[in-house]
């Protein structure tokens, strides 16, 4: 397959698969902790961070943009926490509000930057929907430098992370620093977002966090299997999306990856044994006939 | 009599609304104690603030004379069943294993000894055959027993349980109360947030009546009186006429939890 032999294609494919695997794995915790919307808000909130990082440094280096994106996303999460704690605004309303404020600010910065002479060719606009075709080897290294420590942290503290995700009250009663794990899990999700914004963009990134987890949950009842499956689904969808985008001129890779991931999710929701819609319908019919 | 749990002047507020006001409570070692009171009286909050899950505005909690933080290994906790998502992708055995985490170091994984302890706890609640089921596939009563098994796996001195009889059938209720009696026979202390006034005299040695303030606490035959119940529940006590107050209860069918 020329996906892995052609240099440019190989970079794009490997980058997309890295993103799919890392965000699939880490996204499981966003879904199980009921923070899928937080992931969405944080990825939108990364946009002004990217624009500001470029504005201040004039460089399109992945590490600099990552720092900008991560700071903005974490600032949004922190702000959300403050709003929910100190006002009577409920968290869904606060999420919508913060998403809009950050994303709006990001769009303003972006439109300003577009008129700057050196910024147009920097392709900042591609961060909206991603531009996988522009991935270079340095971007892959940047993904690994951010992604591997995030994965490692979760694996090192696996029993604790699992307990805190399942039953935070019990975890606190045996003395685990639950607040600390909240921060850790938020930070690793930000890491996943940061990794994905170049490839699929801030708007579609939350799909790459949520969809693999939802699909994987259909096929297994064990968290250990679920995270591995989610990583696999994410990588598979990324590879399929990258391959599809080579078939036609000007087909954007990021949205194709998200579409492929959605397809996997829909198939899982319908056909997975045990939890799939089809299966549950069949069983209901059997129960009805038996009675 | 040795005091297992000593709560002094405990006050908890959510926002500016007091949920518990200046509560004193002593739990002697080796008793089964019920905490009763109407909905919203602060029973769960009393348990959670004792365990350090809710930060009190004032007051102190001592476990065998020392602060809670130093005595965690002596405590087991059964939260309300509705406090977790039972669709979580994990097995019965995994949940019970979590009872051993407090005894493991930071980087140690549960090994053979922990699995053996978890299986023994499952055996005690008669769920050993369900060890590898996903927790969502169990009935409500079985889920409640999984939480109980996790607490048993903690191998503690004091057990705090938040409505362990909630939504379980009569057979399960019997099984659970037998386990609580075994714990007492082994010298353990058990504190239970309880809903069903009908069974207080039959199940428990001690009772605490709570409605934001402590109304009364002590041996059941001393404090489970009509006057105290009226003071706790106010006009809302329709059950009072039928329940046997401070007298041995007959084996009335346990009322289902709400």
Q: What is the mean pLDDT of residues A206-229?
A: 96
Select from A243, A242, A217 the least CA-distant residue to A229.
A217
The correct CATH number of B3-235 out of 3.40.605.10, 3.40.30.10, 3.40.50.300, 3.30.1360.200 is: 3.40.50.300
- Mean of pLDDT over chain B: 89
How far is the C-alpha of B16 from the C-alpha of A158, rounded, in Å?
A: 38
Distance (Å) from the C-alpha of residue A169 to the closest C-alpha of chain B?
7
Which is higher by pLDDT, A118 or B191?
Answer: B191
How far is the C-alpha of A139 from the C-alpha of A161, rounded, in Å?
A: 29
pLDDT of residue A290: 77
pLDDT of residue B253: 42
Distance (Å) from the C-alpha of residue A92 to the closest C-alpha of chain B?
20
Distance (Å) from the C-alpha of residue A48 to the closest C-alpha of chain B?
35
pLDDT of residue B252: 42
- The answer to whether the CB atoms of B88 and A156 lie below 8 A apart is no
How far is the C-alpha of A95 from the C-alpha of A40, rounded, in Å?
A: 9
Residues contacting residue B140 through CB under 8 Å, at least 6 positions apart: B81, B167, B168
Is-contact A30 A210, C-beta < 8 A? yes
Q: Which residue in chain A has the smallest CA separation from B133?
A: A221
B235 pLDDT band (50/70/90 cuts)? low
Q: What is the mean pLDDT of residues A222-244?
A: 96
How far is the C-alpha of A233 from the C-alpha of A216, rounded, in Å?
A: 8
pLDDT of residue A125: 75
pLDDT tens-digit map of B57-72: 999 999 999 999 899 9
Tell me if chain B has a CB within 8 Å of the CB of A217: yes
Beta-strand pair B66-67/B213-219: unpaired
- The answer to whether the CB atoms of B53 and A169 lie below 8 A apart is yes
A16 pLDDT band (50/70/90 cuts)? very high
- The answer to whether the CB atoms of A166 and B95 lie below 8 A apart is yes
Spell out the SS3 assignment of chain A.
Answer: CCCCCCHHHHHHHHHHHHHHHHHHHHHHHHHHCCCHHHHHHHHHHHHHHHHHHHHHHCCCCHHHHHHHHHHHHHHHHHHHHHHHHHCCCCHHHHHHHHHHHHHHHHHHHHHHHHCCCCCHHHCCCHHHHCCHHHCCHHHHHHHHHHHHHHHHHHHHCHHHHHHHHHCHHHHHHCCCCHHHHHHHHHHHHHHHHHHHCCCCHHHHHHHHHHHHHHHHHHHCCCHHHHHHHHHHHHHHHHHHHHHHHCCCCCCCHHHHHHHHHHHHHHHHHHHCCCCCHHHHHHHHHHHHHHC
B226 DSSP 8-state letter: H
pLDDT of residue A121: 56
Nearest-10 Cα torsion for A30, B72, B211, B227: 150
Tell me if chain B has a CB within 8 Å of the CB of A159: yes
Q: What is the mean pLDDT of residues B79-101?
A: 95
The shortest CB-CB distance from A175 to any of B48, B72, B136 is to: B72
Residues in chain A within 8 Å Cβ distance of B85: 32, 166
Taking every pair of Cα atoms in chain A, the longest distance, rounded to a whole number of angstroms, is 75
Distance (Å) from the C-alpha of residue A141 to the closest C-alpha of chain B?
29
Q: Which two tokens stand for residue A198?
A: 């170049």
Is-contact A22 A189, C-beta < 8 A? no
pLDDT of residue A280: 86
Distance (Å) from the C-alpha of residue B195 to the closest C-alpha of chain A?
21
Locate the domains of chain B by residue range.
Answer: 3-235
Per DSSP, the residues of B128-178 read GGGTTSBGGGS-HHHHHHHHHHHHHHT--SEEEEE-TTTT--HHHHHHHHH
pLDDT of residue B248: 43
B143 pLDDT band (50/70/90 cuts)? very high
Residues in chain B within 8 Å Cβ distance of A159: 101, 104, 109-110
pLDDT of residue B245: 57
Q: Which residue in chain A has the smallest CA separation from B98?
A: A163
Percentage with pLDDT > 90 across chain B: 79
Tell me if chain B has a CB within 8 Å of the CB of A85: no
Q: What are phi and psi of A109, to 5 degrees?
A: -60, -40
Residues in chain B within 8 Å Cβ distance of A226: 89
Select from B162, B146, B153 the least CA-distant residue to B195.
B162
pLDDT of residue B238: 56
Q: Which long-range contacts (CB under 8 A, 24 or more apart) does A276-281 make?
A: A276/A218
Q: What are phi and psi of A161, to 5 degrees?
A: -60, -40
The correct CATH number of A7-205 out of 3.40.190.10, 1.10.3470.10, 3.40.50.300, 2.40.40.20 is: 1.10.3470.10
Tell me if chain B has a CB within 8 Å of the CB of A77: no
Percentage with pLDDT > 90 across chain A: 69
pLDDT of residue B255: 45
pLDDT of A235 higher than 80: yes
Q: What is the mean pLDDT of residues B43-66?
A: 94
B250 pLDDT band (50/70/90 cuts)? very low
pLDDT of residue B95: 97
Residues in chain A within 8 Å Cβ distance of B136: 221
pLDDT of residue A274: 84
Question: How many other CB atoms are there within 10 angstroms of residue B164's CB atom?
Answer: 27
- The answer to whether the CB atoms of A173 and B75 lie below 8 A apart is yes
pLDDT of A269 higher than 90: yes
pLDDT of residue B208: 97
- The answer to whether the CB atoms of A222 and B89 lie below 8 A apart is yes
Residues in chain A within 8 Å Cβ distance of B79: 167, 169-170
pLDDT of B155 higher than 70: yes
pLDDT tens-digit map of A34-89: 999 999 999 999 999 999 998 898 888 888 999 999 999 999 999 998 998 888 88
Q: What is the mean pLDDT of residues A275-291?
A: 85
Q: What is the mean pLDDT of residues A143-157?
A: 96
Q: Residues of B near A (CB-CB distance < 8 A)?
A: 48, 51-53, 69, 72, 75, 77, 79, 83-85, 88-91, 94-95, 98, 101-102, 104, 106-107, 109-110, 134, 136, 150, 154
Residues in chain A within 8 Å Cβ distance of B69: 175
pLDDT of residue A186: 94
- Mean of pLDDT over chain A: 91
pLDDT of A21 higher than 90: yes
B88 DSSP 8-state letter: S
Q: What is the mean pLDDT of residues A133-156?
A: 93
Tell me if chain B has a CB within 8 Å of the CB of A88: no
Judged by DSSP in three states, B248 sits in coil
pLDDT of A154 higher than 90: yes
Which is higher by pLDDT, A225 or B245?
Answer: A225
Residues contacting residue A7 through CB under 8 Å, at least 6 positions apart: none
Please, what's the b/e burial string for A160-194 (b: 16 or more CB within 10 A of its CB; e: otherwise)?
bbbbbbbbbbbbbbbebebeebeebbbebbbbbbb
pLDDT tens-digit map of B104-117: 877 788 889 999 99
pLDDT of residue A61: 85
**What Å distances lie between residue A82 and A89, B72, B155, B229, CA to CA?**
11, 31, 39, 42
Tell me if chain B has a CB within 8 Å of the CB of A152: no
Q: What is the mean pLDDT of residues B174-178?
A: 94
**Which range, of A244-248, A283-287, B192-196, averages the lowest pLDDT?**
A283-287
pLDDT of residue B239: 53
**What Å distances lie between residue B51 and A161, B20, B56, CA to CA?**
21, 15, 11
pLDDT of residue A211: 97
Select from A264, A240, A19 the least CA-distant residue to A130.
A19
């Amino acid at each position: 397959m020329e996906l892995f032999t052609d240099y440019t294609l190989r970079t794009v494919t490997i980058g997309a698969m890295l993103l799919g695997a890392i965000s699939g794995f880490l996204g499981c915790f966003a879904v199980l902790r009921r923070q899928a919307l937080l992931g969405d808000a944080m990825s939108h909130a990364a946009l002004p961070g990217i624009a500001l990082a470029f504005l201040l440094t004039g460089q399109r280096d992945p590490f600099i943009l990552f720092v900008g994106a991560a700071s903005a996303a974490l600032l949004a999460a922190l702000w959300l926490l403050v709003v929910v704690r100190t006002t009577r605004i409920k968290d869904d309303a606060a999420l919508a509000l913060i998403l809009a404020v950050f994303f709006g600010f990001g769009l303003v910065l972006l439109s300003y930057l577009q008129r700057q002479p050196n910024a147009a060719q920097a392709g900042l606009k591609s961060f909206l929907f991603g531009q996988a075709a522009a991935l270079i080897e340095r971007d892959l290294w940047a993904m690994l430098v951010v992604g591997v420590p995030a994965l490692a942290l979760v694996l090192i503290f696996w029993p604790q992370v699992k307990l805190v995700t399942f039953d935070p009250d019990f975890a606190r009663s045996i003395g685990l620093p639950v607040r600390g794990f909240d921060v850790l899990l938020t930070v690793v999700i930000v890491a996943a977002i940061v990794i994905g914004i170049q490839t699929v963009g801030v708007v579609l990134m939350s799909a790459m966090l949520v969809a693999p987890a939802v699909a994987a949950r259909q096929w297994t009842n064990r968290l250990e299997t679920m995270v591995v499956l989610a990583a696999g689904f994410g990588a598979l969808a990324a590879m399929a999306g990258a391959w599809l985008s080579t078939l036609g001129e000007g087909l954007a890779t990021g949205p194709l990856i998200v579409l492929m991931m959605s397809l996997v999710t829909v198939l899982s929701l319908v056909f997975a044994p045990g939890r799939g819609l089809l299966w549950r319908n069949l069983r209901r019919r059997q129960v009805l006939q038996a009675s | 009599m040795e005091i297992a749990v000593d709560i002094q002047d405990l006050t908890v507020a959510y926002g500016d609304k007091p949920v518990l006001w200046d509560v004193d409570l002593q739990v002697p070692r080796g008793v089964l104690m019920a905490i009763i009171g109407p909905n919203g009286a602060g029973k769960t909050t009393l348990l959670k603030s004792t365990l350090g899950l809710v930060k009190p505005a004032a007051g102190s909690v001592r476990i065998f004379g020392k602060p809670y933080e130093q005595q965690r290994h002596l405590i087991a906790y059964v939260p309300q069943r509705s406090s977790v998502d039972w669709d979580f992708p994990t097995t019965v055995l995994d949940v019970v294993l979590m009872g051993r985490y407090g005894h493991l170091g930071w980087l140690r994984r549960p090994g053979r000894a922990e699995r053996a302890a978890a299986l023994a706890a499952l055996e005690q609640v008669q769920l050993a055959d369900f060890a590898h089921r996903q927790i969502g596939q169990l009935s409500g009563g079985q889920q409640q027993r999984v939480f109980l098994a996790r607490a048993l796996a903690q191998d503690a001195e004091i057990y705090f349980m938040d409505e362990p009889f909630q939504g379980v059938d009569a057979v399960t209720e019997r099984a659970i109360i037998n386990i609580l009696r075994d714990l007492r026979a082994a010298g353990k202390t058990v504190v239970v947030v309880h809903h069903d006034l009908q069974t207080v005299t039959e199940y428990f040695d001690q009772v605490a009546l709570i409605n934001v303030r402590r109304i009364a606490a002590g041996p059941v035959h001393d404090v489970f009186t009509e006057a105290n119940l009226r003071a706790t529940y106010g006009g809302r006590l329709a059950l009072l006429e039928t329940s046997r107050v401070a007298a041995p209860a007959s084996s009335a069918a346990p009322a289902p939890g709400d």
